[in-house]
Structure 1
């Protein structure tokens, strides 16, 4: 029963990550995204996986942990993509401002 409850908790968390990655992908900005939060969640998943190995309780729930790690990895990819897009936009704004100064 404990394994089922653990799996339900992981599935609930896990379902939120693809939705979050999609939302952030569509937003195309890292503004408002907390890398610290993503890092804490990532560390939590790895701690859960380590606990399974340390306790010797290797069961089917471990698969759910690994699926969640894949989902959180997608969030990291989107976060770094969005950082790159934000930097590109900032360079464009600076270039446009410099062009206006030269013209004036």
Structure 2
């Protein structure tokens, strides 16, 4: 019984940090400080803990804490991809603004030949 209580205390301590992490990641709108492999590794650890509890027949409050922590950590996955999209959109907008406001050729800004034809690029520049 004491081991279950101590394990629950450990999980609660970890679990209290995850909602704060989710809020911070959501507000930052940046995936720069996030690591998808780390998130997936933590999720894998929680799944392993849940499966171990089930296989050992330990259906108690500790199992519930594992599940709650797993769900909270999992919220970081869609936030990661949302933040990546926000960053990509932001950088693309910056690149297009550079092209629009300068005489630099497309290749100088993007580092590759344009996917658009010259008419489409000129049309964008004239917006």
Q: Settle same-fold status: TM greater than 0.5.
A: yes
- Following the alignment from structure 2 to structure 1, what is the Cα–Cα distance between the partners of residues 41 and 71? 15
- Following the alignment from structure 2 to structure 1, what is the Cα–Cα distance between the partners of residues 82 and 37? 16
1:35 matched to which residue of 2? 36
Which consecutive residues of structure 2, in runs of 5 or more, have no partner in the other structure? Answer: 104-124
Give 1 or 2 for the bigger CA radius of gyration.
Answer: 2
How far the C-alpha of 1:43 sits from its partner, in A, is 0.5
- Following the alignment from structure 1 to structure 2, what is the Cα–Cα distance between the partners of residues 92 and 8? 47
Root-mean-square deviation (Å):
1.4
1:22 matched to which residue of 2? 23
Which consecutive residues of structure 1, in runs of 5 or more, have no partner in the other structure? Answer: none
Mapped contact 1:17–1:75 kept (Cα < 8 A): no
- Following the alignment from structure 1 to structure 2, what is the Cα–Cα distance between the partners of residues 101 and 26? 33
Q: How many residues align?
A: 103
TM score, norm. by length of structure 1: 0.91
CA shift digits 1:16-66 (9 cap, x unpaired) = 111011111111100121111111111000000010111112212111111
